[in-house]
A = this chain, B = another copy of it.
Amino acid sequence: MLHVNTRQAILPHPVTVHIGLKPVETVKSFVNFIAPGEDLGVSETSPRLYRVVDGCLAVYHLLADGRRQITDIIGPGRAIAQQPAHDGNRSIKALTYTEVEVLDPAANPALAAETALEALMRLTRHATLLGRMNAAEKVANGLLDLAEQFPRKLRQGRPVLTLYLTRSDLADWLGLTIETVSRTLNQFKRDGVIDYAHAEIVTLTRPERLKEIASGNNPTTSARSSKGKAA
């Protein structure tokens, strides 16, 4: 139901790009531009490998009654595999104007394998976040992840990130409600841990403190962990 302005362009190939630390050679790529809210590859017939050049993708899973869980957020440099058969209600959509490189997994087996492995590792860590962390820990971890994936120029030596996610996206990613996300972010702001004026540009004013909160070390809210009682 949204403005569909997907354009395509043939690129010179092969192309070499960096994922993680290893340069990965790719072949037969072309480029797609996706508008915010638009879905990725819903009508594909063959498995596809996508790599984000610029922008932000959200992988999500829907329940019959409309509940949504975003299982991963994908930024520039990272890749994602999309199965043809719309694998089990899993979809991918763009959270901003996003440029993706479309690749053939058969022609890029190394990237395909690495992509699957990274997805699994990230999702494992995210499952732990969802099942075993409280709101502050969830939001702190989310912010640190996004700061790595969507870095802007440092401001007075502090990391700055572009926040493509709305409060609703953050909530569906972190397993919270929008109100709790809003309250937690504003609490962090009041505590001087982060700062933002325009809501889509966030500065980590005390990144080391944020890391402490993310790992459960919370001196102020003394020893309030959650369910998983430390052994």
The CA of A61 and the CA of B128, in the complex, are separated in Å by: 7
B231 and A128 within 8 A (CB): no
- Counting CB contacts under 8 A, is A68 at the interface? yes
Q: Does A146 contact B (CB under 8 A)?
A: no
Q: A88-B125, A228-B66 are in contact. Are A132 and B175 (CB under 8 A)?
A: yes
> Quick check: is A191 within 8 A (CB to CB) of the other chain?
no
Which of A4-12, A115-123, A154-162 lies at the interface?
Answer: A115-123
Would A130 and B175 count as touching, CB distance under 8 A? Answer: yes
Q: Within 8 Å CB of A67, what residues of B?
A: 128, 132, 216, 225-230
Q: Cβ of B120 and Cβ of A116 under 8 Å apart?
A: yes
Most central of A66, A87, A123, A127 by chain B CB within 10 Å:
A127
CB distance from A196 to the nearest CB of B (A): 24
Of the candidates B66, B71, B121, the one whose C-beta lies within 8 Å of that of A127 is B71
The distance from the CB of A92 to the nearest CB of chain B, in whole angstroms, is 12
Contacts of A174 in B (CB 8 A): 131
Q: Give Cα A121–Cα B36 distance, bound, in whole angstroms.
A: 25
Between A and B, 30 residue pairs with Cβ closer than 8 Å are A61-B127, A63-B128, A63-B228, A64-B216, A65-B216, A66-B228, A66-B229, A66-B231, A67-B132, A67-B226, A67-B229, A68-B228, A68-B231, A69-B128, A71-B124, A83-B117, A88-B121, A88-B124, A116-B120, A119-B120, A120-B120, A120-B123, A123-B124, A123-B127, A126-B127, A127-B127, A130-B175, A131-B172, A132-B175, A175-B227
